[in-house]
Amino acid sequence: MNLPADHIRLLFGLKLRQLRLDKGLSVSELAHQSGLSISYVTEIEKGRKYPKTDKISALANALQVDYDSLVSLKLSKKLEPISDLLRSKFLTEIPLELFGIDPSDLLELLAEAPAKVSAMVRTFMDIALSYNMSVERLYLTMLRSYQELHDNYFPDIEADADRFLDEFAPADQVVSEALLINLLKTRYDIRPEQFDARTQPELVALRSILRPETHTLYLNADLSAGQRVFILAREVGFQFMQLKNRPYTYSWVEAESFEQILNNYKASYFAGAILIRREKLVAKLSDLFARDTWHNDDFLQLIDHFKTTPEQFFYRLSTVLPSQFGIDQLFFYRFNHTPGQITFQLTKEMHLSRKQGPRGIVDEHFCRRWIAWTILEELQFIQQHKSFDGILCRAQLSEYADSGQQYLIISVAHPFQPESGQNISLSMCFAVNDNLKSKMKFLNNPAGVKSLHDIPFRVVNQTCERCAIFDCRERVAAPAVLQKKRQFDALRKAVAGLD
């Protein structure tokens, strides 16, 4: 594998430093014996400079090693994890500057404390292997952190969306399916076609496929109108923002780089911004928040007004609420459920609150009192007994038993895709505080009233294994983690009490 020049400099500097320490030499001693200046040797060890042939020979003689061994990119066992890191895609494909990290600073950190950083890198790699973390999962985790870092609001993409709307849908014109198809055909030379997943079952999981060599965008014939419009808008986003490095399937089959995942997100963000105009959504939300009472049907009508899917609407909410309303203590999650089964899969999550909420906890059972699950159980019941195929909306005030923190949770459940046989629930969760109450009038209930009109109240927790609500009828596992913690606390107190 060809390494960038700065990585080669760093590898040489790390190796030189390790050899010097193994020989028990100081920087000044090595400089004196090799005939080089102290500052120059220091620059080499920090990976800032790569010496010429004659200077490498001088260093090799001073260290009593042969020339080829010194210039070899093979590192000692102590530094192997750093070598693996530099040879991986991490430093070359992930734009560290997105996270406020200067790549040169990271390289200098590696040079300053290689043994400690090496141990840390090895630890991270072992954790990833232990949890079977794929490259794609790592990329998605990084993308989620990037979204959370920016409160999921990106003015540059919003500006691109505004520019598109001014040019192609002025005066509040609707961005329709016909408009998007026409743009793809006439402006970008892309022809939308449909494929039947029932005759090609291996493609059933895909909603769209772009074949750039034939300029064809294939759409799954089973898509709903809202799903189809979103995919068309997303493809326009790729073209309009000139995002070249991108996946050609949706959902993507394999991520080749973090840039692909990031560009895929940018195009999806763009699609949401042109389909759900920021100004219109802000006006509608302001009206909803100003009402004295909460009604689930009002929220469903709001989704229907924008002729979009619930998931697209929730995503757009997560971009508008922090930036336009100052409501940034929130998190979003999605659960999938197959009717008749007792398991629920957490398939998406995003935390702007950075506090409590469901996360991908391994080998534990999520609290069954969450509205995200009870709404799925309710949907399953009415599907079986009333032939219902619509959408449900429910709200809940949830108070965490261990912290007392309250959240307003708005959850929507509907069939995921008919051919999948699954249902899906999407939930937006808001930390209840003075700021939220000042924005949502219906939250200002009389003192001491636990239930707000149409919003029930429940005490919840994270997982059964960590929960102290011992009389919980929804419990599906013993509080093993909590009991172990209490046993340890008791042991620690007993040890401290010894004379």
Give the angle subtended at the CA of 276 by the CAs of 271 and 238, to the nearest 5°: 10
Q: Is the pLDDT of residue 466 over 70?
A: yes
Predicted pLDDT at 27: 92
- Going by pLDDT thresholds of 50, 70 and 90, the confidence category of residue 153 is very high
CA–CA distances in Å: residue 15 to residues 21, 95, 99, 118: 10, 26, 29, 13
Interval 78-134: pLDDT, tens = 666 666 666 665 566 666 667 666 665 665 666 566 666 656 666 666 666 555 556
Distance CA 111, CA 45 (A): 7
Residues 6+ apart with CB under 8 A from 264: 246, 247, 252
Round the average pLDDT of the chain to a whole number and report it.
85
Q: Please indicate whether residue 130 or residue 442 has the higher confidence score (pLDDT).
A: 442
Percentage of the chain modeled with pLDDT above 90: 46
Interval 273-331: pLDDT, tens = 999 999 999 999 999 999 988 999 999 999 999 999 999 999 999 999 999 999 988 88
8-state DSSP, 352: S
Q: Which tokens hold the place of 212? A: 């750039």
Task: Give alpha helix (H) positions in 150-257.
Answer: 155-168, 177-186, 225-240
Mean pLDDT of 348-359: 64
Query: Can you state the percent helix, strand and coil of the chain, rounding each to 5?
Result: 50, 15, 35
Mean pLDDT of 376-403: 90
Q: Is the pLDDT of residue 168 over 70?
A: yes
Interval 20-73: pLDDT, tens = 988 999 999 999 999 999 999 998 888 888 999 999 999 999 999 999 888 887
Q: Which tokens hold the place of 81? A: 């994890």
**Which residues sit opposite 282 in a β-bridge?**
none
Q: Is the pLDDT of residue 420 over 50?
A: yes
> Helix 53-63 vs helix 5-22: angle between axes, to the nearest 10 degrees?
20
Buried b (16+ CB within 10 A) or exposed e, 45-59: bbbbbbbeeebbebb
For tokens 């005030």, the residue is 397
Whether this prediction's pTM lies above 0.85 is answered by no
Buried b (16+ CB within 10 A) or exposed e, 150-175: ebbbbeebbebbbebbeebeeeeeeb
Predicted pLDDT at 357: 54
Predicted pLDDT at 255: 74
Predicted pLDDT at 3: 66
Distance CA 260, CA 244 (A): 9
CA–CA distances in Å: residue 197 to residues 200, 207, 209, 221: 5, 9, 12, 7
Number of helices (H), then strands (E), in the chain: 20, 10
Mean pLDDT of 415-444: 87
Predicted pLDDT at 483: 84
Q: Which tokens hold the place of 330? A: 């929130």
Task: Give alpha helix (H) positions in 432-499.
Answer: 434-439, 480-496
Q: Is the pLDDT of residue 74 over 80?
A: no
Domains of the chain, start order: 5-133 (1.10.260.40), 155-275 (1.10.10.2910), 293-462 (no CATH)
For residue 310, how many C-alpha atoms fall within 13 Å in the half-sphere facing its CB? 24
Predicted pLDDT at 252: 72
